[in-house]
């Protein structure tokens, strides 16, 4: 399982404002944020990096995960880059933060919001994605 896409689930407990690069200050309301990313080289290593608070800020999601550790990740192994397909599917069910995490594609966002815990397994499986692993690094 070296390639694929992943979802990070980040629980925000109270309003927090974070400056996110060129996007500027974003207010994250209490609830669950679901980030869609991909790693076409080393999927597990990429995902584990997001759980480390002390990391070089590279991507939009790093601004959030350097302040709030993700609760878990869902891995979707694939030899093809499917993160935009996954993001488009989630956009049908969740609100999102415009332009977050998608500066290299034409998606509206790669960060989605749900006030309650999101039922992602069912949504992904119904869309035909092979959800293989749930990962909760220490």
When pLDDT is averaged across residues 39-62 and rounded to a whole number, the result is 93
* Alpha-carbon span 104 to 88, nearest angstrom: 15
When pLDDT is averaged across residues 71-75 and rounded to a whole number, the result is 93
**SS3 for 31?**
strand
Q: 11-39: per-residue pLDDT in tens?
A: 999 999 999 999 999 999 999 999 999 99
* Alpha-carbon span 135 to 73, nearest angstrom: 5
pTM of the model: 0.93
**Tokens at 104, concatenated:** 């290299």
Domain with 120, as residue range(s), is 4-135
For 11, phi and psi rounded to 5 degrees?
-95, 120
Using 50, 70 and 90 to split pLDDT, how confident is the model at 135? low
* Alpha-carbon span 90 to 78, nearest angstrom: 18
The reported pLDDT for the residue numbered 134 is 72
Higher pLDDT: 132 or 51? It is 51
Give the count of domains, the chain. Answer: 1
Q: 75-118: per-residue pLDDT in tens?
A: 999 999 999 999 999 999 999 999 999 988 999 999 999 999 99
């Amino acid at each position: 399982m070296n390639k694929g896409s992943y979802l990070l689930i980040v629980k925000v407990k109270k309003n927090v404002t974070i400056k996110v690069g060129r996007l500027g200050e974003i207010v994250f309301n209490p609830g669950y944020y679901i980030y869609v990313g991909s790693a076409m080289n080393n999927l597990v290593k990429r995902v584990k990096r997001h759980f480390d608070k002390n990391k070089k800020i590279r991507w939009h999601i790093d601004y959030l995960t350097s302040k709030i550790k993700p609760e878990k990740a869902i891995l979707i192994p694939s030899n093809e880059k499917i993160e935009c397909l996954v993001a488009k599917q989630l956009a049908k069910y969740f609100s999102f933060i415009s332009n977050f995490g998608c500066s290299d594609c034409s998606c509206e966002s790669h960060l989605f919001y749900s006030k309650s815990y999101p039922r992602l397994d069912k949504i992904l499986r119904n869309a035909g994605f092979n959800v293989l692993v749930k990962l909760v690094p220490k």
